[in-house]
Structure 1
């Protein structure tokens, strides 16, 4: 794996998506991330999807490249041990509640320079999940075909969890840099709800709604504010066709042979589509009808080849089964490799998404077995002897995996 963060040790106590994603991204860049779970597994240890043996493929993939410590956190001595571990490296990521035994103030009493990154639901400490946050910021009202009326449509991808996880990894590095300059540790809180509403605002959606006084309508697969929609080819294949830049627009017009028709629409309506993507959206009633008719005269493979030659932007629709066998997306993609998964299954395992030309990517690392590194970490981080670790394991305070 890449080693940009080599030498950085991070303790992670978390579950579900956002907080584990932050630890995953740090680990894939070379940080040593030690995840601490409840003995027997936390609330996400058996989450779907699961393999034939019942092992969670979700847990397996969100915890690649990490080490695992298992502690009985229901016991006072287990919680005390967790506090010592959380403070031990100076870097701690969690989605545990603000108050309680992992409150930053309690951990900072052990290590004043500790950086705590806390992923939260609501800024006030209230609970929230990706799907409850998504429903609150208005996205389901924009999703899906117009004929659905007022019925909300949730999207499958936990986008706010993933954004919050990436933001948490960024916040960890920012807080570490601040500590380098000032010598001060601190807690950084990342509420899922704030990431969601802040992202909507960053995209101009919030300002749009406030200024116009109404919600954006449902558009189905039409791209808002630009030329973009799905079209069906002669052989029944569906293609997402986009024209954001002038080159993409002129290329598409040339490939489809609709230059004369476009000129006529421009003259009739007193507009020019060459450089203004907003006008292409405003006049989609005429443009979509024209493009739809021409795309229907092409087979998909021939159309894709012609569009590719002109630098156009398009994308075919595929099932996830088809994507898994795609030679570009997966088969020959260097982010994937094979590794010894705890589930015992053999499938393409993802590594870091970035490409660093100056470094070897290396094979993706496997996820740990639960508690696999308990003894090792207690010895290295807390300087416990083998005998002391043996007593803790014998008393059930820790599990050695």
Structure 2
């Protein structure tokens, strides 16, 4: 039993933002029912895939959900889907989607069947146009300060940060609307634009104010902007990131490397105060030049011991495969993970919710459903259809159970 047990959410979605919101809700115990196109949705074969073209992307984003497969291209299929969305239940009547809120997903039309409907629609921008991280970031200027210091031209990020943040904001929006409904009985149509999430984040973190003051953020390569942090290589060739962001981290770094006196001399020579993080950034290259010989003359085991003794903030670089093979944090030693069987793939290491609630055990992790795996069950439970009625829908090829 998760903390959201009893809550029912219907998800009509593809790609990252909306499915990640549904995943987070499902992993907290909500019943999340996907309405999937009978042929598989837009992201059903999204890369990465196995050798037989099973999408690891789709499987990862849809764990712990239920799937109902309907031919939503046909009017009868859309009406069936609408009935599932608006099915009765005090903790039901919640729709999560990133498809345009028109036609069968029009909020006002759906409200005719359920007045207290809560619908959250993830959009590209506030006008409802299509957008993804790779098109939003260029407008924000982020690719122009990403990458090596001497690079000319944009450098795209491979992490869909705005999608991930938008997904978590969608969770907040739905739960806030559900709380409001529990107090007032009123439904909501919440609109959440990927571009607005990105713009709001840029404003919150000071990027917009910086630009208003006439500054363009500089490229800082592998340096941490605004404080001290950079990558180094040990004597045995291990690359690691070292950070001195807070005063405590900075003191630990200086003590572990035995460079306190030289750092004080450098600060005095530059007329800077290294107790201030911005001053450490101003002298970042000179600071790195002092640390580099220390790192290059020691093997990683010695560096690890020195850093551990002073609680230094640092981390080794490793490939994703190295992480999976060797890192205890990415294994069943971490309560976040369990090994579970995933249909079509085999046993996989699956993460649950990162949230830990002291009064509840972690909800068990289950794999993603097969396409339409729960069609008959949902039609029977939610819509009270008989086996004969469900059979006729199958005969009409309006639904599928996989």
Task: Judge conservation of contact 2:257–2:306 (CA < 8 Å) in 1.
Answer: no
Counterpart of 2:361?
360
Task: Judge conservation of contact 1:51–1:343 (CA < 8 Å) in 2.
Answer: no
Counterpart of 1:166?
168
Tell me the secondary structure at the aligned position of residue 156 of structure 1: coil
- The offset of 1:111, in angstroms, is 0.3
Distance (Å, rounded) in 1 between the aligned partners of 2:40 and 2:227: 47
Counterpart of 2:392?
391
- The offset of 1:214, in angstroms, is 3.2
- The offset of 1:397, in angstroms, is 0.9
- The offset of 1:309, in angstroms, is 1.3
Distance (Å, rounded) in 2 between the aligned partners of 1:16 and 1:172: 19
Tell me the secondary structure at the aligned position of residue 123 of structure 1: coil
- The offset of 1:389, in angstroms, is 1.0
Match of 1:112 among 115, 118, 121: 115
Distance (Å, rounded) in 2 between the aligned partners of 1:124 and 1:82: 26
Task: Judge conservation of contact 1:339–1:363 (CA < 8 Å) in 2.
Answer: no
- The offset of 1:200, in angstroms, is 1.0
Counterpart of 2:247?
246
Aligned length: 397
Distance (Å, rounded) in 2 between the aligned partners of 1:27 and 1:270: 55
- The offset of 1:313, in angstroms, is 0.2
User: Structure 1 stretch 64-73 or stretch 304-313: which is displaced more?
Assistant: 304-313
Match of 2:196 among 189, 194, 197: 194
Distance (Å, rounded) in 2 between the aligned partners of 1:269 and 1:140: 32
1:262 aligned onto 2:263: yes
- The offset of 1:365, in angstroms, is 0.7
Task: Judge conservation of contact 2:28–2:353 (CA < 8 Å) in 1.
Answer: yes
Task: Judge conservation of contact 2:96–2:121 (CA < 8 Å) in 1.
Answer: yes
Per the normalisation by structure 1, the TM-score is 0.96
Structure 1 unmatched runs, 5+: none
Task: Judge conservation of contact 2:11–2:22 (CA < 8 Å) in 1.
Answer: yes
Task: Judge conservation of contact 1:33–1:67 (CA < 8 Å) in 2.
Answer: yes
Matches of residues 173-252 of structure 1 in structure 2 within 5 Å? 173-211=175-213, 213-252=214-253
Tell me the secondary structure at the aligned position of residue 264 of structure 2: helix
Structure 2 unmatched runs, 5+: none
Per the normalisation by structure 2, the TM-score is 0.96
Task: Judge conservation of contact 1:371–1:400 (CA < 8 Å) in 2.
Answer: yes
RMSD over aligned CA atoms reads 1.3
Distance (Å, rounded) in 2 between the aligned partners of 1:31 and 1:387: 29
Distance (Å, rounded) in 2 between the aligned partners of 1:138 and 1:87: 42
Counterpart of 2:311?
311
> Runs of 4 or more off by more than 4 Å in structure 1?
none
Task: Judge conservation of contact 1:229–1:241 (CA < 8 Å) in 2.
Answer: yes
Counterpart of 2:143?
140
Tell me the secondary structure at the aligned position of residue 36 of structure 1: strand
Distance (Å, rounded) in 2 between the aligned partners of 1:45 and 1:284: 46
Tell me the secondary structure at the aligned position of residue 308 of structure 2: helix
Task: Judge conservation of contact 2:27–2:363 (CA < 8 Å) in 1.
Answer: no
Tell me the secondary structure at the aligned position of residue 223 of structure 2: coil
Task: Judge conservation of contact 1:349–1:364 (CA < 8 Å) in 2.
Answer: yes
Counterpart of 2:59?
60
Q: For each residue in 1:57-94, what CA deviation from the matched residue of structure 2 results, as whole angstroms up to 9, or x when unmatched? A: 11111000000000001111001111111222311100
- The offset of 1:362, in angstroms, is 4.8
- The offset of 1:327, in angstroms, is 3.6
Task: Judge conservation of contact 2:3–2:360 (CA < 8 Å) in 1.
Answer: no
